Amino acid sequence: MSFISSELIDIEGVNNLWIKRNYEKCSGCRRCEIACSLYHEGKIWPEASRVRVFMFVPGVEIPHLCFQCNDYPCVEACPEEALSVNVHTGAVITDKSKCTACGACINACPGRVPHLHPQNDYIVICDLCGGNPKCVVACQEGKWDALNLLKGIDVETEKTPAKIPKKLAYETARILLGEKTTEEVYEW
């Protein structure tokens, strides 16, 4: 199954961009969700945002967005070939006209990142806003530095494997709150 559209080239030629997350610095302001929904939906609509912020433990906020896995399991799993990879950014792109919202990409994603658009029947995934991610801009303007855009060589050395938000929250809580407190407040 090919997952590169006619505008895109072989995955080996992708010049990746990647959003590095520093979960310990996230304030939970949700400006990233607002910036994303404004850019993609034309209005403040966090439910339609391609980045979602989860809080499983008070004070531990997890901005969750596409990890751009090296093997792109979501793209490979799509039976309709509605997902492709942009050659310039490495971002997953959803072809709304082909997507049937079957959820195969969600099940294939180790971080369970793709999600159904709240109003329309298609999957939303971070597309890196064409190379200038609005979530990163908003986070940088706020001086939180929880989201940072990496380019080129830095991407492969810094990229982390996809994980579900609850697991990321647990790991972050252990750093911020310590192991004992985390075990007391965290529910699996």
Please check the confidence at residue 14 and state whether its pLDDT lies above 80: no
Domains of the chain: 11-185 (3.30.70.20)
> Where residue 7 falls among pLDDT bands split at 50, 70, 90?
very low
| Whole-number pLDDT of residue 13 | 47
Please check the confidence at residue 15 and state whether its pLDDT lies above 70: no
- The CB-side HSE value for 7 (13 A sphere, CA atoms) comes to 9
**What string of DSSP letters covers 32-79?**
HHHHHHHHHHSS--GGG-SSEEEEEETTEEEEE-----TT-HHHHH-T
Query: What's the whole-number average pLDDT of the chain?
Result: 91
| Whole-number pLDDT of residue 113 | 98
